[in-house]
């Protein structure tokens, strides 16, 4: 854990959370549930989303700007990259953009680690956006742990969540179609999966429906939860003790790089509480 020995971390550290949009608020929600005493600054680079269609060089440049904003202007001691695309393509660039004393956590490695712990057959399924699947970042992280991963892009799920159809017959039907294809394709390749990774920050809102549809012997791994678990592990290492939950209202400030309307309108569903006023920031470029 870089820098942890030569730096005193406040017992109420600041955790910077970054996403290209507001889906990463599900990660922030999981963080706040585990470490409510920390201060949180969340930035959604809404001016430049979606990252999925952009080149890795462009994504690295954008993500580094947001990372510097969180560290230099918000005083973040930890950075959580709550964006699958940026975690897949820009984690090293983000680490280089901030002082080595700042711990940087992406969402992909913790998801793969949790899948490794959960799976007995060592065959796992991953659902994600088109961009995340094309990066094959989950497959690589799984392979590094001796897992075989079968990835499937589910591009309709994000718009269904954003339409608010989290518990809607159409969404049930779309999930049923996607899972039928997923299971058939995986088994045609000889896999016997017992674990499903939710590889997109929007998908935790569909977990109740997914649990109804997927076979009951398949364990569900939520990357948002796994990432928050890892951050808590870092915190307890650096602070010498697990964070002590308090009952006060948590300190959360949200920023966006363009139009905040959709962020404020939909964000509370992802965060599980009101986002408060979302402040507009200009990162240049």
Show which residues are catalytic.
83, 200
Min dist CB 44 to a second copy, Å, is 10
The beta strand positions in 58-188, using DSSP E, are: 78-81, 103-106, 123-128, 148-153
Q: Which of 228, 177, 222 is nearest to 195 (CA)?
A: 222
- Is the Cβ of residue 229 or residue 258 nearer to a second copy in the bound state? 258
Fill in the DSSP letter of residue 136: T
Among the residues of 17-83, which ranges form H helices? 25-34, 56-68
Fill in the DSSP letter of residue 213: H
Min dist CB 184 to a second copy, Å, is 18
- Is the Cβ of residue 118 or residue 156 nearer to a second copy in the bound state? 156
Q: Which of 227, 208, 25, 202 is nearest to 127 (CA)?
A: 202
Which run of H or of E encompasses 16? strand 14-19
- The dihedral built from the CA positions of residue 46, 203, 229 and 60, taken in this order, carries a sign that is negative
Min dist CB 130 to a second copy, Å, is 8
- Is the Cβ of residue 144 or residue 177 nearer to a second copy in the bound state? 177
Judged by the rule CB under 8 A, the positions of this chain that interact with a second copy are 46-50, 53-55, 58, 130, 155-156, 158-160, 162-163, 165, 169-170, 173-174, 177, 258-259, 262, 285
Min dist CB 54 to a second copy, Å, is 5
């Amino acid at each position: 854990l870089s820098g942890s020995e030569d730096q005193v971390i406040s017992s109420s550290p600041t955790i910077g959370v970054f996403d290209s949009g507001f889906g990463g608020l599900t990660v922030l929600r999981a963080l706040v549930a585990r470490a409510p005493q920390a201060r949180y600054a969340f930035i959604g680079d809404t001016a430049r989303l979606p990252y999925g269609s952009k080149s890795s060089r462009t994504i690295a440049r954008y993500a580094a700007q947001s990372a510097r904003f969180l560290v230099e202007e918000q005083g973040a001691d930890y950075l959580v990259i709550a964006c699958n695309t940026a975690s897949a393509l820009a984690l090293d660039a983000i680490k280089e953009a901030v002082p080595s004393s700042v711990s940087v956590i992406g969402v992909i490695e913790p998801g793969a680690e949790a899948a490794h712990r959960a799976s007995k057959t060592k065959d796992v399924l991953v659902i994600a956006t088109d961009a995340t699947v094309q990066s094959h970042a989950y497959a690589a992280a799984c392979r590094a742990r001796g897992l075989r991963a079968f990835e499937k892009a589910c591009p309709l799920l994000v718009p269904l969540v954003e339409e608010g159809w989290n518990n809607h017959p159409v969404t049930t039907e779309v999930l049923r179609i996607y899972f039928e294809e997923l299971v058939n394709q995986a088994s045609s390749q000889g896999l016997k999966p017992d674990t499903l990774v939710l590889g997109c920050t929007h998908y935790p809102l569909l977990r109740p429906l997914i649990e109804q549809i997927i076979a009951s012997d398949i364990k569900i791994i939520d990357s948002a939860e796994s990432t928050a678990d890892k951050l808590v592990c870092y915190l307890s290492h650096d602070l010498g003790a697990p964070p002590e939950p308090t009952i006060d209202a948590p300190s959360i400030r949200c920023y966006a790089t363009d139009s905040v309307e959709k962020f404020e309108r939909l964000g509370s569903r992802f965060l599980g509480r009101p986002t408060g006023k979302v402040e507009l920031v200009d990162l240049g470029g």
